Amino acid sequence: MKWPPLSATAKVVTALAIIAVLVVLAFFAPPEGESNNVTGDLETSPTVSITNLISSVAVKRAIDFQGVHITIMQVMQATKFSDDRKPIGTYTVRVLLQAQNNGQNPIGIRYDTLVRLVLPDGQEIKPKYISVKPVLLPNAAQSGFFDFPTSTQLPLSSLQLRLGTDTMVSFS
C-alpha cells in the first residue's frame, strides 16, 4: 500500500505532533541518574571511598532523644568522602549512627536545627550534610551519618555531639 503524498503543511503538523508526544513522554521517564524501581532508591548501596582518612574512633554510645534510640557507632575525619554531596571545608568529621523508633507512632526530628558538633574550645558547628531521614516510622530503624566541615585536623576524642539543648555525647 502506498501512502498519498503529504503537503508541506501536513508534514510540519505531523512533525510537531511527533515532537509533542515525545515531550509528554519525557515527563514520565525517570530522572537521569535514578533507578527505575518504585521508590527511586538504588538497589544496592554504593561503596563509599574515603580520601585521606585522618583518624577514626569507635564510640558505640546510645542515647534516647525525642523518642528515638540513637547509637553513635563511629566518628571519622577525612579530607573527602565519595558520597559527600556538599564539599565544604578542608576536612570532614563524619558521625555514623543508627536510629531506632520502638514506638507506635512516626517520629520527626529536625536534625538540621538540633544537631551540632562541639569543638574543644566550645565552638559549635552545624552539619553540612545529613543522610538520616527526618521521619522515623514506628518499629523502624535506619543507619546514616552527619557530616561536619572543619578547617583543621581535630583529635576526635576531644569532640562532642550535641542534640537539642541538653543532650551531649562525648566521643572519648
Residue whose C-alpha is closest to residue 95's, from 36, 51, 44, 159: 159
Q: Residue 114 corresponds to which amino acid?
A: L
- Exposed, middle or buried by CB within 10 Å (0-12, 13-18, 19+), for 109? buried
pLDDT score for 166: 86
Q: Is the pTM of this model over 0.75?
A: no
Q: Which CATH class is domain 50-170?
A: mainly beta
pLDDT score for 172: 83
> pLDDT tens for residues 119-167?
999 999 999 888 889 898 988 899 989 989 888 888 999 999 999 888 8
> pLDDT tens for residues 51-99?
777 888 999 999 998 889 999 999 999 887 776 766 677 888 889 999 9
Three-class SS state of 130: strand
Q: Where do the domains of the chain lie?
A: 50-170
pLDDT score for 42: 53
Q: Which three cell numbers stand for residue 47?
A: 561503596
pLDDT score for 35: 47
Q: Residue 154 corresponds to which amino acid?
A: L
User: CA 151, CA 125: separation in Å to the nearest integer?
Assistant: 11
> pLDDT tens for residues 25-54?
777 766 555 444 444 455 555 566 677 778
Beta strands at 167-170 and 129-130: parallel, antiparallel or unpaired:
unpaired
